[in-house]
Chains A and B, each alone.
Chain A
Amino acid sequence: GQNIDQPTEMTATEGAIVQINCTYQTSGFNGLFWYQQHAGEAPTFLSYNVLDGLEEKGRFSSFLSRSKGYSYLLLKELQMKDSASYLCAVSDSNYQLIWGAGTKLIIKP
């Protein structure tokens, strides 16, 4: 079967750094996405990785290791507005998105 695992909930302090991990087992791989979803709102696109390595975009970075079936999202200089759920999703061999259950990130002052 296809499976994506990410922690259910994480807590971090404003101004700090947090790393949200995602491991996956899918039928084929055509890229991995990270989306941010604030409570009651729609998901918004953060990053896409298809090759191994680190992609940096401002305070957010995303890393991929295809051989390990592993990705992480790194958030620096955390702000209160970063409190949200972070969804990891993999595009499989049929280009269908397989979604993780999401990681709820709580930022404390």
Chain B
Amino acid sequence: DTEVTQTPKHLVMGMTNKKSLKCEQHMGHRAMYWYKQKAKKPPELMFVYSYEKLSINESVPSRFSPECPNSSLLNLHLHALQPEDSALYLCASSQDWGSGANVLTFGAGSRLTVL
């Protein structure tokens, strides 16, 4: 299995809703990532988990809350989002964190629209 699976593919939510994005990989990768990507822009790193522990939080607002229940799963909990948070949210994994040749395998993404 060489895939990263993300659900849902599309999500529309209001500013008062609570929702979650889910990500799963079965490649035995020890690092997992959340990225946010706006149209025609490169991915922006949000969070990195290494061995199920949060290693990097790129000053992301608290309305985004990551969770890593086990080595294969990564969630992103969303609450009280703003319309400007509408974007493609990409999950990625790599063999490990903190080495140069870390090739990222991305999921297909969850396209989020906040009304």
A and B assemble together = yes
Give A residues with C-beta under 8 Å from B.
30-31, 33, 35, 41-45, 48, 50, 87, 89, 91, 95-97, 99-102, 104
Say yes or no: A45-B102 contact (C-beta < 8 A), given A95-B97, A100-B42, A101-B42. Answer: no
Say yes or no: A48-B107 contact (C-beta < 8 A), given A100-B42, A101-B41. Answer: no
What would be 12 A-B contacts, judged by CB atoms less than 8 Å apart? A42-B108, A43-B90, A43-B104, A45-B105, A50-B100, A50-B101, A91-B102, A95-B99, A95-B102, A96-B45, A96-B56, A101-B41
Are A31 and B101 within 8 A (Cβ)? yes
Q: How many of chain B's residues have a CB under 8 angstroms from any CB in A? A: 20
- B residues within 8 A CB of A48? 101, 103
B109 touches A (CB below 8 Å):
yes
- In the bound assembly, the distance between CA atoms of A27 and B99 in angstroms comes to 15
